[in-house]
Structure formats: structure tokens, C-alpha cells
Amino acid sequence: MTPAIEVNKVYKHFGVVDALLDINLKIEQGEFFALLGPNGAGKTTLINVLAGLIFPSNGIARILGHDVVVNYREARRIVGVVPQELVFDPFFTVREMLSIQSGYYGLRNNDNWIDEVLNNLGLSDKESSNMRTLSGGMKRRVLVAQALVHKPPVIILDEPTAGVDVELRQSLWNFIKQLNHDGHTIVLTTHYLDEAEALCSRIGMLKQGKIVALDSTKNLINTSNGCLIRLRLSPDILPIKLQSLVENYTDNCFILKINSYSSIEGVLATLRVEQIKILEMEVIQPDLENIFVQIMDKADDVGFE
């Protein structure tokens, strides 16, 4: 099957800034994929290349087999992008915006789908509101609606839930999950790592223009080394022998990082010998946020190679 997205040796330079450096990525049809990375990692740049908004300095990107530069018309028709920046025309109402957008794609009788999108994004009662009168979160909902207006098989969302309230987050994700279930490929960037962990089956992590991790969400979490234990001690002192394990100290608790469950025994034995009492203890499984921090730290150490 043709991949939904194929990125081959893509570079993007903005003057002296290397925003993308040799990106290689294949996303299969039907995937729910997260593209994660710190500010400035290159996520939006990669999305803009895929959306045909900027040209790569080098390399090839394809959407469902269509080169985003050579066949940009076809490529644009099959992708819907929710941009990170709020850009909109202030003079139209919500429904007008969506009808005009449908027109761009040559869709004349699109009202049923527009109704469904408005309804799923909690925008039905705003359809006659002028864009400039909408709150920030409402504008972002319209951006999502605009990206979906032509029912694109590939949907790319660049931080769609930034500044969006809890209720919409839930309805937005239910809607996007339904679209994914119906076969649409979803690519998501977000700084809310719990969202990525809950929704996406595969994750790519970018740092300074390079891919530093690419694996299934499950593998990323399972292969992370070790876990954390939170300990409240009396007296509130950690034996010297354990001090190299300290990750953090908050709310009168030591957070220790251990390589495996079997290391817990050694920690307990040391505390017993030193006659330090455990008032509270919790074993914390690493979540995607912990893994993200680990991977980003490691990428620093090895210079991203």
C-alpha cells in the first residue's frame, strides 16, 4: 500500500538556521502518528513542507504518492492541515468560511458534512458569527473545521488543542478518533504528551531538525530503562550510598531513579541498615513525558547522531 506520508532525505535551511536535517519518515495509511519535540525542533517546518506551504531545500516528500512539490495540486487536495498559527479572514462568518473553503476544493453540495463538522466541534451555534468576534479557542475550532471540510484522507494537526478548553479537547479527540477509525491517517503535534500517549500508536521525536526517536508508543514506553520511586523518610535524610539515584526532591519526598524493580530491594536494605523509616513509598512507571525527557537528554549527550 502506498504510504500516507513519505519523507526522504528532507532538509530545510532558513539562512543559517538548519530547521530540518536529513528527515526520513514513512507513515502508513490509517496510522495515528504523533510528531513530538521541543519548541523550535522543526515540527511546523516539516508540516509546512508536507502542506506545500514551503519548499524543502533538499529531498522529497510525498502524500499518498504525490510529490508535494511536483504534484502539489494533487497533494494539497488529499491533505487537511490545521495550522499552528491562528490565521483567518475577519470579514466572514464561520459557515461562509467553510463554504468558501469547500469551493476551493470544487465541492458544491457540502452542507451536510459542514453541519456534521460544526456539530462535532461544538460550533453549531456560532455558524453565523463573524470570525473576528470569536474567542481564541473558538477560532482554533474553526481552523480544525477548515482543515476537515474536504474530508481529506490525510489529516495533519499542528497543536490543535493549544488554548482549547477541556470539553472541546474531548469532543475534538472523539471526532478525530472516529475519522481515524474510518480510515483517515492522522498526524498530530502537541506539547501535551498525555494526549499523544493516549491517542497515537506511533511516535516520532524531533530535536534540532533531526529525528531522535521513532517507534510505537508501546515500545517507547516499555524499552525505557527503569522506573522511579518516591520516598518520604524519617528522618528526612537519604543515605550517601543512594544519593546518586536522586532525580528530584519535592514535597519532602525523594524521587529516585532505579534501573529495574529488583533494585528496590537494595534501596530498602540500605534504608534499613541506616535505620531510616519509610513513611510513604510509591513506584512510578515512566510515562511518555518521562521518556521524552530521557530521549531529549540523551540526544544532547550524543549530539543527535
- 134 CB-near residues (< 8 Å, 6+ apart): 94, 126, 142
Best CA proximity match to 205, nearest among 134, 276, 288: 288
Q: Which stretch binds ligand ATP (CB under 6 A): 23-31, 32-40, 212-220, 291-299?
A: 32-40
Task: Give 39 or 109: the residue with its C-beta nearer to ligand ATP.
Answer: 39
Q: How far apart are the first and last CA of the chain?
A: 31
Task: Give 80 or 83: the residue with its C-beta nearer to ligand ATP.
Answer: 83
CB of 79 to ligand ATP, least distance (A): 17
CA separation for the pair 156, 104 (Å, rounded): 19
Binding mask 267-296 for ligand ATP (x = CB under 6 A): ------------------------------
By the 8 A CB rule, do 98 and 149 touch?
A: yes
204 binds ligand ATP (CB under 6 A): no
Best CA proximity match to 292, nearest among 213, 186, 228: 213
With CB under 5 A as the contact rule, the residue among 48, 84, 101, 120 that binds Mg ion is 84
Residues linked to residue 18 through DSSP beta bridges, in sequence order: 13
Report cis status (omega within 30 of 0) of the bond before 235: yes
With CB under 6 A as the contact rule, the residue among 1, 39, 223, 265 that binds ligand ATP is 39
185 binds ligand ATP (CB under 6 A): no
Best CA proximity match to 176, nearest among 166, 167, 185: 185
C-alpha cell at 301: 549527550
> Which parts of 40-79 interact with ligand ATP (CB under 6 A)?
40-45
Q: Which stretch binds ligand ATP (CB under 6 A): 24-32, 35-43, 248-256, 258-266?
A: 35-43
CB of 121 to ligand ATP, least distance (A): 22
Binding site for Mg ion (CB under 5 A): 43-44, 84
